[in-house]
A and B are shown apart, each in its own frame.
Chain A
């Protein structure tokens, strides 16, 4: 069974750096084609893709947030970590990690999602 779970602080102050951890099981980030991505959702708003890291260290970022984002993987711990610097109240929302397998049949769609973690940025 594949599962992903996000963890991190629930509350941050403006200008602080957010560090989120996605801990997964049921698959390995050393397997060809496997990737883990991060997606966020402000309250009552749409999904926004943030970043993605693949088994081969291919990394992609949202251009609008690239300067603030860093995604890394720890294959021994089955974790993917996302950091976002200089947090602002507009960054408030639920942050999800999700599995993306770059192989047939889904060819990279976000197949399995974590439950999400709510992050509030407020002074």
Chain B
């Protein structure tokens, strides 16, 4: 089973700062099948990035994804107030699908 490990667990930053979130897989993941989701309290997750680097419909360009193999990164170039949330990576190329444990981006 693919294990996805996200780091850090919590990221404390100020609006306007850059956020870099990491997702490491226990085995190589095809880049076509790595996604990132944003989840705010009381809400369902929202797809941000699919295929490791493609933005989903309506996602601002301050969100970018990169990586390949076992190491993937979600970058938020300049944090807006609405970006403070929990972010999950997800691999969907192999069954069983798996999610990372999440990174919380909080206001410093």
Given A107-B32, A107-B33, A108-B33, also A63-B46 (CB < 8 A): no
Alpha-carbon distance A110/B44, docked complex (angstroms): 11
Q: What residues of A have a CB within 8 angstroms of the CB of B84 in the complex?
A: none
Select from chain B the residue with minimum beta-carbon distance to A96: B44
User: How far does the Cβ of A122 sit from chain B's closest Cβ, in whole Å?
Assistant: 21
CB-defined interface of A78-118 with B at 8 Å, one 1/0 digit per residue?
A: 00000000000000000010001000011111111111100
Q: What residues of B have a CB within 8 angstroms of the CB of A52 in the complex?
A: 97
A62 touches B56 (CB 8 A): no
B50 touches A107 (CB 8 A): yes
B63 at the interface (CB under 8 A from A): no
User: How far does the Cβ of B40 sit from chain A's closest Cβ, in whole Å?
Assistant: 12
B96 touches A105 (CB 8 A): no
Q: What residues of B have a CB within 8 angstroms of the CB of A106 in the complex?
A: 47, 50-51, 56
**Which of B39, B50, B90, B98 is A105 in contact with, Cβ under 8 Å?**
B50
B1 at the interface (CB under 8 A from A): yes
Select from chain A the residue with minimum beta-carbon distance to B54: A105
Select from chain A the residue with minimum beta-carbon distance to B49: A109
A109 touches B46 (CB 8 A): no
Query: Which of B10-18, B19-27, B74-82, B99-107 forms part of the interface with chain A?
Result: B99-107
CB-defined interface of A40-62 with B at 8 Å, one 1/0 digit per residue?
A: 00000011110010000000111
Alpha-carbon distance A107/B49, docked complex (angstroms): 12
Q: What residues of B have a CB within 8 angstroms of the CB of A107 in the complex?
A: 32-33, 50-51, 92-93
B contact residues vs A (CB 8 Å cutoff): 1, 32-33, 35, 37, 39, 44-47, 50-51, 54, 56, 88, 90, 92-93, 95-102
A contact residues vs B (CB 8 Å cutoff): 37, 39, 46-49, 52, 60-63, 96, 100, 105-116
A-B contact pairs, 25 of them (CB 8 A): A46-B102, A47-B37, A47-B88, A47-B99, A49-B97, A49-B99, A61-B96, A62-B96, A96-B45, A105-B50, A105-B54, A106-B47, A106-B56, A107-B33, A107-B50, A107-B51, A107-B92, A107-B93, A108-B33, A109-B35, A109-B47, A110-B37, A110-B45, A111-B50, A116-B44
